[in-house]
Amino acid sequence: MITIRELLHYFKGLGLETIDVNVNQDQVIIAPKNIMEAKEDHLTFLSRKYENELEKILAITSSRLILVDRTLLPAVTGFGQKHNIALVGSSSPKKDMIDAINHFFPEKYNVPFIDPSSIIHKSCRLGKDLLIGPHVVIEEDVIIGDGCVIEANTVIKRGSILGRNVRIKSCSVIGGAGFGYDKNENETAYQFLPHFGRVIIEDDVDIGSNTCIDRGSLSDTIIRKGVKIDNLVHIAHNVDIGDNSLVIACSMVAGSVVIGENCWIAPGASIRNGLKIGKNCTVGLGSVLTNDIGDNTTVLGVPAIELEDFKFLRKHQKQLLKSKGNDQKV
């Protein structure tokens, strides 16, 4: 039973500005909620993207405790006082709400628990406090670190290595052989290249449902610390993804790609084999990357080009289309 009083005390401890109006601080908060749907027993937040709709949003919400972007506090303080809403000023309200959720409303797993329907080879080395769901298959010589969660129907192929606190959602395949075929000039059939590499997944990696990460052919596929991979993603053989990068739904990373740390691969992006992507890069929505890019670069489009070049082309495309329309009218 978490109350507004406890949450305010927590936020004050983080050094956040709290405006304690005559709210009932014994009000129980049962969960976080979207501000449009929040009731009296919900914690919510208000970011700058709503600054042009403040009156409308505040008229809808019933929440008694709202994390607010500091720049919006002057505009909402009067409303909070009038309607007895406790406000907490934050430079990153969404982040602070996530921290509060993890502190007060942690996702609970019944660990340690290994479902009896799972199939685990006797040669595997398993850490402590694992949750392994129904019908999981773990092949020979797999190593799994402490605190991992492997959800139902996932398959972890031979020789794969998982660090600590790795979470793999349902129906994913880790460590299967990649799509490696070769055909000589005098041959009519393709020949498959056997894969001898592994998949190495470092600590604190999350992998979504229905995602495939192929083991390396002659080297290893490496997913480094803190990487987050969404649902329906394909990571091919020999790929190396740097610390704290994100690969979002329906993206495809072809073989031997190297992605630097803190990168964002947006939904539906495709990356050609053998490319190198620097640190702190963004590959935009639905983009097709065909060339290496250096650090701190944003690219988008098909084929992907740098952001400023993309804006330039779009501007002139609009002018051409407008000109074409005027010609047709004449």
Residue 154 lies in a domain: no
DSSP reduced 3-state for 310 = helix
Domain co-membership, 207 together with 325: yes
Domain co-membership, 196 together with 327: yes
Domain co-membership, 180 together with 329: yes
Domain co-membership, 199 together with 311: yes
The predicted pLDDT at position 257 comes to 98
Per the structure, the count of domains in the chain is 2
Residue 146 lies in a domain: no
The predicted pLDDT at position 154 comes to 98
Residue 188 lies in a domain: yes
Catalytic residue among 9, 234, 237, 316: 237
Domain holding 319, by residue range, is 172-330
Domain co-membership, 62 together with 178: no
pTM: 0.83
Which one of 104, 133, 148 terminates a domain?
A: 104
Domain co-membership, 316 together with 191: yes
- Contacts from 58-64 at CB under 8 Å and sequence distance 24+? 58/83, 60/35, 60/36, 61/35, 61/36, 62/38, 63/33, 63/35, 63/38, 63/39, 64/4, 64/23, 64/24, 64/27, 64/40
Low-confidence stretches of the chain (pLDDT < 50) are: 330
- Where residue 82 sits, what CATH number does that domain have? 3.40.1390.10
**What letter represents residue 138's amino acid?**
I
Domain co-membership, 89 together with 177: no
Residue 41 lies in a domain: yes
Residue 119 lies in a domain: no
Which one of 104, 130, 164 terminates a domain?
A: 104
- Segment 152-184, tens digit of pLDDT: 999 999 999 999 999 999 999 999 999 988 877
DSSP reduced 3-state for 145 = coil
CB-based contact 282:298 (threshold 8 Å):
yes
**The tokens of 78 are what?**
């009067």
Residue 151 lies in a domain: no
Domain co-membership, 237 together with 327: yes
Domain co-membership, 214 together with 294: yes
Could you tell me what percent of the chain has a pLDDT over 70?
Answer: 97
- Where residue 235 sits, what CATH number does that domain have? 2.160.10.10
CB-based contact 238:220 (threshold 8 Å):
yes
Domain co-membership, 199 together with 317: yes
Which one of 104, 121, 146 terminates a domain?
A: 104
Residue 275 lies in a domain: yes
- Segment 217-247, tens digit of pLDDT: 989 999 999 999 999 999 999 999 999 999 9
Domain co-membership, 291 together with 192: yes
83 in active site: no
93-104 and 4-13 are packed helices; what angle lies between their axes, rounded to 10 degrees?
120
Going by C-alpha positions, the residue among 96, 36, 27, 24 that lies closest to residue 62 is 36
Domain co-membership, 231 together with 330: yes
The predicted pLDDT at position 330 comes to 45
Residue 82 lies in a domain: yes
The predicted pLDDT at position 110 comes to 64
